[in-house]
Amino acid sequence: MVSLVKLIKSANHLVVFTGAGMSTESGLPDFRSANRGLWTTEQKQYLSSTNALNNHLQEFTDFYRKRVQGIHDLKPHKGHEILAEWERKGYLKQIITQNVDGFHQEAGSEKVAELHGTLKKVHCETCGRSYLSEEYLHDNYTCGCGGVLRPSIILFGEMLPEQPFLTAEEAAIKSDVFLVLGSSLSVSPANQFPLLASETGAKLIIVNKEPTEMDRIADIVIHEPIGNVLEEINSKL
């Protein structure tokens, strides 16, 4: 931990990359967990696709209503708040996240590239008008124009949004310390950013409860709860 604190202290361009493990510590289920929730992994993957949106709308909206309810019932944990504090103090230059819960922004972070969109908003599939996702909690799934309201996330079958992707790419290249928090690093193309950071000279740190596919190239690997690790680092900064 001492070497990790030294790296964070000495970083000129610290970038943080967060995955599902960052949110599970707030109580949000891991999207791919096979034994939690009402759906199997296969059903979850299908219901998160453009095919489900287009061909099984009722099941699609039922699934996402429950996901929207989940993020409204929970809140950011201490780790989210620490990252926001690091940004305010100038330690942290950019957060790249695979998560769609909006907890980073809720905790106070502003420099957040959301690679997979957000569940905090829904938008009309026809006219593009944006609404807060509370519309789903009020059982409103239709825009004023008559179009379908869908979550503003990236579904299977869709491309990543260009601007967050470019922001993440630039941040990875500029980084001198790249800190991964709670990602298995198994989802492409998002998992290419830690690799890019490492290849362009950054120190790669991975904090995840389970081993990841990139542990072998990381400079430091820690298999401990994220909140505990961030609190210990923060206490020594």
As beta bridge partners, residue 225 has none
What the block records as the tokens of 88 is: 């305010």
Binding site annotation covers 145? Answer: yes
Pairing of strands 117-124, 92-97: unpaired
* Dihedral angle computed from the Cα positions of residues 86, 227, 229 and 203, in that order, rounded to the nearest 10 degrees: -60
Binding site annotation covers 65? Answer: no
133: burial class by Cβ within 10 Å (0-12, 13-18, 19+)? buried
Q: Which amino acid is at 69?
A: Q
Binding site annotation covers 77? Answer: no
Binding site annotation covers 82? Answer: no
Binding site annotation covers 143? Answer: yes
Catalytic annotation, residues: 116
Binding site annotation covers 208? Answer: yes
Total residue length of the chain: 237
Binding site annotation covers 219? Answer: no
User: What Å distances lie between residue 162 and 116, 133, 145, 189, CA to CA?
Assistant: 11, 22, 27, 12
Binding site annotation covers 97? Answer: no
Binding site annotation covers 184? Answer: yes
How far apart CA 233 and CA 59 sit, in angstroms, is: 43
Binding site annotation covers 31? Answer: yes
CB 22 within 8 A of CB 182: yes
Contacts of 58 (CB under 8 A, 6+ apart): none
What the block records as the tokens of 230 is: 């961030």
107: part of which helix (H) or strand (E)? helix 103-107
As beta bridge partners, residue 13 has none
In the annotated binding site for NAD(+), the residues are 20, 24, 31-32, 98, 100-101, 116, 183-184, 208, 226
Numbered residues of the known binding site: 20, 24, 31-32, 98, 100-101, 116, 124, 127, 143, 145, 183-184, 208, 226
Give the annotated binding-site residues for Zn(2+).
Answer: 124, 127, 143, 145
Binding residues for nicotinamide: 31, 100-101
